[in-house]
Structure 1
């Protein structure tokens, strides 16, 4: 009888942990979608709140921190017009969430509209005040004709 109760308790705990992780993964996916919309709408103040003070951003043209990223978005230096999300996955490691997005990004850079396929890595850290973006990295994907 004790073994049955213990087995049931362990199974119930595993289901709760699994459900909790799935809910967290969905929360991160929704946060990422919201972030893409804020980027499209040039909501620099909302993004500044989301970005951790030590966050890093890796683009095709270089890497920089939070202040420069927020200023680029605010000034329109890069306007993330639309991110078409094709695939998304999330892995949770302790208080860190790693989200991978395969997207087609339509952006305006230096007054020119460009469209690029990217694998985007977003790293979120759970803090007392909620999830904060710690890193956003763009890796350009090669198409069949791009070799």
Structure 2
């Protein structure tokens, strides 16, 4: 899907797309200044009355950003002259939930799938996929 073409068809969508591109560029510029080990843990939230608000994913990243922010401010100001201050907010990211598959296959179904896989000599990829499925569900 070509979002540039879609944005040209609707004025509101074009404005939203332009804002999205702007914030993507701002975040990219900020991340060029940050140490590489902080990149996955820091996001740009917004700029409010000359204050750049950054979101930290954990306490370590927030603490490190607070220590570095005064030294980084002049470099950030060369890219974004309107920035007068930097504020760091801690926004912990929740751990992804473990995947749980509530579906089970009966022993009869698993045996039939294994038998079918054995008979699919002319489709080795399909047979391998069926064997993987059987093995996964027998665990």
Give me the TM-score of the superposition, normalised by structure 2: 0.30
Which of the pair has the greater relative contact order for Cα pairs under 8 Å at 6+ separation?
1
Structure with greater helix share of residues: 2
Structure with greater strand share of residues: 1
